[in-house]
Amino acid sequence: MTSDGAARVTKVVIVGGGTAGWMTAAALSRLVPSGVSVTLVESEEIGTVGVGEATIPPLLDFNRMLGIDEDAFVRATGATFKLGIEFRDWARLGDAYLHPFGTHGRDIGGVSFHQLWLRQAALGNPDPGPIGDYCLSAVAARRGRFTRPSANPESVLSTLFYAFHFDAALYAKLLRDMAEQDGVVRVEGRVVAVERDAGTGFIEAVRLEGDRRIDGELFIDCSGFRSLLLGDALDVPFTSWKHWLPCDRAWAVPSQRQGGLTPYTRATADTAGWRWRIPLQHRVGNGYVYSSAHIDDDDARRALLAGLEGEALGEPRQLRFEAGRRDRLWERNCVAIGLSGGFLEPLESTSIHLIQSGITRLMSLFPDLGFGVTEIDEYNRVMLREYEQVRDFIILHYHATERSDSPFWDRCRTMAIPASLSAKLALWSGKARVFREQGELFTPDGWIAVLLGQGIRPASFDPLASALPADESARFLAHVRDVIDKTAAAMPTHEAFIAQNCAAR
């Protein structure tokens, strides 16, 4: 026993084998100190949530950390490359913009590029065009082009960032194979009870159907929305964010691929939520995320099917959820990773990232010598803050709209927003200031793309942007746009890149 009464961690038990469970198992099997065993319990009969196909760039680091070859991964999961998200009809009907992964232009003399662009837009002659024209990821996405970035910081290709669209079930299978090869023991079965120590309240074991018992010292709850350990057994409360993010259901259906492979996710705003379109090599993932208070299920299902480009491959499946998170994600000897800890709708494809973030933080605070309050508090502080930052970014998309064509959009446009988001908007509204907090997921370029894309123009710009003579500044912008345009034109098409390097067989 350690000083705080907890046993040393030699046995880790993961409950759940969805994306969260197998990502955690694969990472732990490679990275925990030797002498620590990992067991994963999952129930095929219960199954997984079965969606979660769009990701963001940090996933590349996770795969690299596990030593996964990227081409092999793309082939094995039917993946495509993702340069950003196209938002249609969000600011107003008929409008579209991209939130690209990557940077806009280049800062000069300590002045952010977007400040130069805002000044040029204010001068108006010549019109600088949309800010997306100055981002290689955005221009390449629009033209259906893809190549990998350059490691040379002098090259404009170094400003390109990407992620993937993949088949979540195939990714879980890939990770499962790796984890099992590395010694993770998989147990098939349904957890029916959780045993806790009467004194400390720590979880001691899970009981499975058939009177089986699995004991351990560290329990990782990857049981999905059920939150079997953190929520049910340890009774950690759930804080709902439904008043800010009212969407609580989704219909999802795959469809046949038609036409070219777009290297971006599409999110189209609808009357009571939004529809996703995620292109994979072998099919397209589609869904309608909606507020059940604003549309009935049948109408939402019809809207999803009416918006498909190819034929539906099966019947739509319904999912129910609530935006929010548990008040602590690490409680006693249990850490919740994935949907068991919280859920933010997939508008910015952040759930798998929050899994990754939970895993990397758990690794850096791993309780191999027992459970210290300081480590647990730090984990909760950092993770809860990250949930809030992602929440604010998602709320921005709903709130910053001119749409008034349905009660849903009226509600989103007029609702009160979190103080943390109001503060960001206040900084932006004066001189377009964007600050990134330490560890914040979304970059200033991401905020700038969405703020401008949603039509929020600041009153002014940084006076430092006027230090550069107007004609010089205009020439600089024209040069940046030209280099990006030519670079994108020289890139292979997304299909050609995949066919040459990583086509699924």
Measured from the CB atom, the residue of 23 and 480 that comes closer to ligand FAD is 23
* In 171-259, beta strands by DSSP E: 185-188, 191-196, 203-208, 212-215, 218-221, 238-240, 249-255
Q: How far is the CB of 346 from ligand FAD (least distance, A)?
A: 3
Binding site for ligand FAD (CB under 6 A): 15-21, 41-43, 46-49, 51-55, 168, 190-191, 222-224, 226, 228, 250, 252, 287, 289, 319, 321, 338-340, 346, 349, 351-352
Beta strands in 280-338 (DSSP E): 284-290, 317-320, 324-326, 330-331, 334-336
Please say if 82 is a catalytic residue: yes
Residue 59 Cβ vs ligand FAD, minimum distance, rounded to whole Å: 9
Which of 191, 477 has the CB closer to ligand FAD? 191
Residues ≥6 apart with Cβ < 8 Å to 482? none
Catalytic residue among 82, 173, 242, 431: 82
What would the two tokens of residue 295 be? 């549309």
CB closer to ligand FAD, 63 vs 112: 63
Longest dimension (CA), the chain: 79
Residue count (the chain): 505
Task: Give 348 or 375: the residue with its C-beta nearer to ligand FAD.
Answer: 348
Phi, psi of 217 (to 5 degrees): -110, -35
Going by the DSSP 8-state scheme, the letter that residue 251 receives in this structure is: E
> Rounded to the nearest whole angstrom, what is the least distance from the CB of residue 171 to ligand FAD in the complex?
9
- Least Cα distance to 387 among 361, 351, 424, 362 occurs for 351
Looking at the Cβ atoms of 50 and 310, the one nearer to ligand FAD is: 50
Q: Report the alpha-carbon distance of residue 461 to residue 430 in Å, rounded.
A: 7
451 CB-contact burial (10 Å; exposed 0-12 / middle 13-18 / buried 19+): buried
- The least CB distance from residue 456 to ligand FAD, in Å, is 25
Distance of closest approach, residue 40 Cβ to ligand FAD, in angstroms: 9
Provide the annotated active-site residues.
Answer: 82
